[in-house]
């Protein structure tokens, strides 16, 4: 009997129209009624994940910022929290400034950018969260940051990733949630670490956990879950390590998993 289902949002829960289908929403509601805790595990900010969770009527701790923050929906209780080490944050920012890259910072569940450009505008539209322009990051970099995000062309990010890996250091987890998003968190700020903490807090064995995702940043939670599921539209690397590959996000892949593994339907 599976007791927890952790679901990524973008390109997993949401279809290409950025909607939760009625079939998927009904399947989630049925699982919740059966006593399964269904949560979201996303790179998005808590404020963004909270809006979607309310839409599909979830009232549970949410895994956000790639796992750097687990926070309860009802009372804002923090269950788990990790921040980018300050010395690493300063090194990453220095590299960004020297190379003219676009960096976004997150503090107090608010989104900050240095410049008002298309990258932050498109990100804000995607996450449905407002942004603030702060030309001087000096004070922000002294604050507890759950995540730092670079946005650029996929090929450029892939080219500079090895160098940034050295700049960030061993205490930083670096991953991609989308081809054009390169993200930095504390080394324990992963969906896998957060999901393990959530399960332990709830007294649930990891063998009773399903994790469902589509991208590189979902790898850690698929690896620790009893059943790691890749969407049909997943990146090839995730399908390789998944226990099961479901239908795509446009084919009610979430519903297919719930029907098959929670209710035993063919």
Q: What is the mean pLDDT of each run of 10 residues along the chain (266 residues)?
A: 97 97 97 97 96 92 98 94 98 97 97 96 94 94 98 97 97 96 98 98 97 97 98 98 98 98 92
* pTM, full prediction: 0.95
The predicted structure's pLDDT at residue 61: 97
CATH number for the domain that contains residue 63? 3.40.50.1000
Q: For residue 55, what are the CA distances in angstroms to 24, 63, 256?
A: 13, 16, 21
The answer on 107 and 26 residing in a single domain is no
The answer on 169 and 98 residing in a single domain is yes
Instruction: State the Cα–Cα distance between residues 240 and 261, nearest whole angstrom.
Output: 20
The answer on 73 and 21 residing in a single domain is yes
Domain carrying residue 233: 4-81+189-262
Q: Specify whether the CB–CB gap between 6 and 221 falls below 8 A.
A: yes
Instruction: State the Cα–Cα distance between residues 264 and 185, nearest whole angstrom.
Output: 37
The answer on 101 and 172 residing in a single domain is yes
The answer on 52 and 21 residing in a single domain is yes
How many domains does the structure of the chain reveal? 2
Query: Considering only CA atoms, which of 44, 250, 233, 124 is closest in space to residue 53?
Result: 44
Cβ-based burial of 260 (10 A; exposed 0-12, middle 13-18, buried ≥19): middle
The answer on 254 and 197 residing in a single domain is yes
The answer on 131 and 44 residing in a single domain is no
Work out whether strand 69-72 and strand 78-81 pair parallel, antiparallel, or are unpaired. Answer: antiparallel
The answer on 210 and 176 residing in a single domain is no
The answer on 182 and 90 residing in a single domain is yes
Q: Which of 186, 208, 230 is the last residue of a domain?
A: 186
* Active site positions, annotated: 8
Q: Which of 186, 218, 236 is the last residue of a domain?
A: 186
The answer on 76 and 208 residing in a single domain is yes
The answer on 98 and 42 residing in a single domain is no
CATH number for the domain that contains residue 96? 3.30.1240.10
Q: Which of 140, 162, 186 is the last residue of a domain?
A: 186
The answer on 60 and 101 residing in a single domain is no
What's the Rg (C-alpha) of the chain?
18
């Amino acid at each position: 009997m599976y007791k927890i289902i952790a679901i990524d949002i973008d390109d997993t829960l949401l279809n290409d129209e950025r909607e939760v289908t009625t079939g998927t929403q009904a399947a989630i509601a049925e699982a919740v009624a059966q006593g399964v805790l269904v949560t979201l595990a996303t790179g998005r900010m808590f404020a963004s994940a909270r809006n979607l969770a309310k839409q599909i009527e979830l009232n549970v701790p949410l895994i956000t910022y790639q796992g750097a923050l687990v926070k309860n929906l009802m009372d804002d209780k923090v269950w788990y929290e990790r921040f980018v080490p300050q010395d690493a944050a300063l090194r990453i920012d220095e590299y960004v400034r020297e190379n003219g890259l676009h960096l976004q910072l997150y503090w107090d569940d608010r989104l900050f950018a240095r410049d008002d450009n298309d990258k932050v505008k498109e990100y804000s539209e995607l996450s449905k969260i407002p942004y603030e322009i702060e030309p001087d990051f000096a004070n922000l970099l002294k604050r507890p940051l759950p995540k730092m995000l670079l946005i650029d062309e996929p090929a450029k990010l892939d080219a500079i990733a090895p160098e940034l890996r050295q700049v960030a250091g061993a205490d930083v987890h670096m991953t991609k949630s989308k081809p054009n998003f390169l993200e930095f968190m504390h080394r324990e700020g992963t969906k896998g670490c957060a999901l393990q903490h959530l399960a332990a807090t709830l007294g649930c064995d990891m063998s009773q956990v399903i994790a469902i995702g589509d991208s590189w940043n979902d790898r850690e939670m698929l690896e620790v879950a009893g059943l790691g599921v890749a969407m049909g539209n997943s990146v090839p690397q995730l399908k390789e390590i998944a226990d099961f590959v479901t239908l795509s996000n446009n084919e009610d892949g979430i519903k297919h998993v719930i029907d098959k593994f929670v209710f035993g339907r063919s």
